[in-house]
Copies of this chain bind each other. A is one copy, B any other.
Amino acid sequence: MLKITATFLDEISWDIPHQNWTPAKWDQDFAAMKKAGINTVVMIRSGLARWTAWPCEYLHKNAATAMPETDLLDLFLTLAEKYEMRFFLGLYHSRYYTLHGRWDKEIDLNKGTALEAWQKYGSRKAFAGWYLCQEISVNSGNIIELYAGLGKYCKEISGGLPVMISPFIKGIKEGNEWNPELATGLASISPEDHEKEWRNILSQLKGAVDIVAFQDGHVDIFELQSYLEINRRIIEEYGMECWTNCESFDRDMPIRFLPIKWEKMLYKLKAAEAAGIKNAMTFEFSHFMSPNSIYAGAHGLYECYLDYINK
């Protein structure tokens, strides 16, 4: 029975409204994660455009980011230590330079972020790895150069800590959520093309990326298993770990986004298990699976999930 043992922490959020939690509330949520079997937390980004989750001087100077009131990196490390979890640090997404073809600049801003984080927090017990926050479904722009360059750099400065990415499958739901026609036979990338695409990408990420956790929400849920089988096979072939990022929000509803129906999440977990995947993470616990979430559907999902893992 595949269980979820890792979750993103969605700071800085891209498209999920903020819960406005105090540190005490975050503590309460880490306790709920622990109870649900979470042992690894992945801060999705240090910064996005001009907002940062911790007071990064480098980004403030080089990307004109605002200095935050609260240092969430310190808070999350402290809580990860309190609850005996591993912490992975996501880096920076300018939301600008990749769109405008300035990959060199995007890479530099990420390196500067990683370096400052390592210098300030690298000695923290929970600091266990890195997350590269640019998300892709196919090769585009200089993404391979970014992944390879950044991954190697992060490992270099940190004594080889593992590096994670979380791409998505080029499926029918990409940017296309809540389209009632999705159930009537539109096509995702073919499994063959998906495999070909990712063989090319993975072959160039050797020594740079350790964990590949594909998002599981973009393809028709009933076709998911065949893609997961490909993912596991080729990712392991290139010497990396294949995780599933089992999304806990629902892409099939007009409100973007609320917690997923438990039945769907269970179906996806079983598909991953059937594909031989051993590690599941989720995007993400605190909004979509937590008893503390602002979305009450998450309270039910937590209860359903706990019933599932405890039975």
Residues of A within 8 A of B (CB): 13-22, 25, 49-51, 64, 66, 68-70, 95-96, 99-100, 178, 180, 183-185, 222, 250, 253-263, 266-267, 293-301, 303-304, 307
In the complex the two chains form, is A69's CB within 8 Å of B184's CB? no
Q: Quick one: given A15-B178, A50-B222, A263-B51, are A297 and B20 in contact (CB under 8 Å)?
A: yes
Interface of A is mostly: loop
Instruction: Pick from A259, A261, A301 the residue with the most CB of B within 10 Å.
Output: A261
In the complex the two chains form, is A253's CB within 8 Å of B16's CB? yes
User: Contacts of A185 on B, CB cut-off 8 Å?
Assistant: 96
Give the shortest distance, in Å, between A53 (CB) and chain B (any CB).
10
Question: Pick the contact of A95 from B184, B296, B299 — CB < 8 Å?
Answer: B184
In the complex the two chains form, is B300's CB within 8 Å of A254's CB? no
User: Contacts of A96 on B, CB cut-off 8 Å?
Assistant: 183-185
In the complex the two chains form, is B262's CB within 8 Å of A303's CB? no
Across the two chains, which residue of chain B brings its CB closest to A266? B69
Q: Quick one: given A21-B300, A295-B294, are A69 and B255 in contact (CB under 8 Å)?
A: no
Question: Pick the contact of A18 from B15, B95, B262, B294 — CB < 8 Å?
Answer: B262
Give the shortest distance, in Å, between A212 (CB) and chain B (any CB).
24
Q: Given A20-B298, A255-B255, 19 other A-B contacts at CB below 8 A?
A: A17-B261, A18-B250, A18-B260, A18-B300, A19-B297, A20-B297, A20-B304, A22-B303, A22-B304, A22-B307, A66-B263, A66-B267, A68-B263, A69-B263, A70-B263, A96-B183, A254-B256, A294-B296, A294-B297
In the complex the two chains form, is A20's CB within 8 Å of B261's CB? yes
User: Contacts of A299 on B, CB cut-off 8 Å?
Assistant: 20
Give the shortest distance, in Å, between A220 (CB) and chain B (any CB).
9
Across the two chains, which residue of chain B brings its CB closest to A16? B253
Across the two chains, which residue of chain B brings its CB closest to A256? B254
User: Contacts of A70 on B, CB cut-off 8 Å?
Assistant: 263
Across the two chains, which residue of chain B brings its CB closest to A298? B20
User: Contacts of A20 on B, CB cut-off 8 Å?
Assistant: 259, 261-262, 297-301, 303-304
User: Contacts of A183 on B, CB cut-off 8 Å?
Assistant: 49, 95-96
Interface CB pairs A-B, < 8 A, 7: A17-B261, A18-B261, A18-B263, A22-B300, A22-B307, A254-B256, A294-B300
